[in-house]
Amino acid sequence: MKKWIIVLLLLLLFAPFTCLADGEEAKKAGPGIASGQVFDEAGSPLPGGVVSFFNAEKGVAPLLADVHRIPDMVSRMHPDGRFNVKLRPGSYYMGALIITDPGRGPGPPRAGEKFYYARDDKGDLREIAIGTGEEKDFGQVVVAPPDTFPAAKNLVTVQGRLLMDKEGIPFPGGVVLVKTNMNKQRPDFVSPRTDEAGRYEIKLPADTPYFLLGRERAVGRPVPGTYIGTYGSETPINLGGVLPIGTMRPAQAASGMPPQVEGANLGPGKDLPKTVMGKPGQTLTGVDIKMFRTPVPEEQREKLQGTLGFGSKMQGTSEEQPQTTPKPEKDK
């Protein structure tokens, strides 16, 4: 009995130290915390907005002309330029975007907004490294406009248009999302908005295959009723077109729409997305993306009811309704 009491006392004695040790190990295994204060080249702190971090280990600096590389982490920058953000262990390039509109939603820099990158003493992009569980204050982080840094090299230029499905009507004001993997929810790059003729031009690191996706909105998931497209897809989603996020397999009809509706033909290997890839200095032209209206659940249900013999004749007709040139929705 005395032996059990001694064992119990030893457990109680060392339990607090065991818990403390476990807590320290958990802290070491977690993300690091980077902090600091952002200043412009004149020595003034930036007046608030967001700071963004780009994993330098991906080998692509975020300096690709007007093409925006999607950051790996974004955090708030306080009105005095200070920031405090959790980061996975690694090395990062850092950007800072001044935002004065409190109602502005997420997304890449817009026309007129000031965006900067952190620079080192030599005028190059500064790399910010953080370790596992490390808390590091980087002090004053000096930033400069993108055009003050050396331009990226070994790029391929991709040119094309966003077009309205069968009519070939230009789709102005859209963007092209660039992915190296269709299964990724977030794109790797975002193009500037297309002009009135639906034209786009993007410069990307060469020798890499890319999937190109046309969108009305630069951020967020596609909203029902908006227009989307994928390079290589010639069919709307509800007729077997490529899904916004999908694998390299034949696309399926939208949820709730049986394959026989509207005469959909989803044979093996039908309508797979295509990739583009080029050499350094090469220009790829004619890379057009057809845009299709995303299904609206209520409209699809009505159409399905009409096809099965319910509802009015208008609901059951297979004739396409006339479409007008869309007015792209602004990012919120």
* Per-residue pLDDT tens digits of the chain, which is 332 residues long: 444 444 333 333 333 433 333 344 444 557 999 999 999 999 999 999 999 999 998 867 787 767 888 899 999 999 999 999 999 999 999 999 998 777 777 677 777 788 999 999 999 999 999 999 999 999 999 999 988 888 788 899 999 999 986 778 999 999 999 999 988 888 999 998 999 999 999 999 999 999 999 999 877 777 888 899 999 988 776 555 555 544 444 434 333 333 333 333 333 345 678 999 999 999 999 999 999 988 877 765 666 655 555 554 444 444 444 445 555 555 54
Quick check: is 113 in a domain?
yes
Three-class SS state of 14: helix
Confirm whether pTM is higher than 0.75: no
Q: pLDDT value at position 237?
A: 62
* Amino acid sitting at position 162: L
pLDDT for 74: 93
What pLDDT is stored for residue 79 in this prediction?
94
How far is it, in rounded angstroms, from Cα 328 to Cα 145?
A: 29
159 and 308: one domain? Answer: yes
Closest to 162 in 3D by CA, of 193, 186, 208: 193
38: left (phi over 0), alpha (psi -120 to 50) or beta: beta
Residues 130 and 161 in one domain: no
pLDDT at 269: 41
- 36 and 177, same structural domain? no
Per-residue pLDDT at 91: 96
Say what the pLDDT of residue 191 is. 92
Q: Both 65 and 209 in a single domain?
A: no
What is the pLDDT, as a whole number, of residue 70?
Answer: 87
Range of the domain at 103: 32-148
Asked if residue 75 lies in contact with residue 83, where contact means CB atoms within 8 angstroms, the answer is yes
User: Residue 270 has what pLDDT?
Assistant: 55
Long-range CB pairs of 68-74 (<8 Å, 24+ gap) are 68/108, 68/109, 68/189, 68/190, 68/191, 69/188, 69/189, 70/186, 70/187, 70/188, 70/189, 70/190, 71/95, 74/50, 74/106
CA 237 – CA 244 distance, rounded (Å): 9
Taking Cα atoms as reference points, which of 314, 289, 291 lies closest to residue 303? 314
How many structural domains comprise the chain?
Answer: 2
Residues in contact with 202: Cβ distance below 8 Å, sequence separation at least 6, in sequence order: 64, 67, 157, 158, 176, 178, 189, 191
Last residue of a domain, one of 102, 130, 148: 148
- 132 with 59, same domain: the answer is yes
Strand 155-164, strand 283-284: pairing: parallel
> Domain for residue 174, yes or no?
yes
Determine the pLDDT at residue 306.
57
d(CA 274, CA 284): 14
**CB of 236 closer than 8 Å to CB of 264:** no
> Do both 274 and 142 map to the same domain?
no
Residue 87 pLDDT: 96
- Please tell me whether residues 81 and 171 are part of one structural domain: no
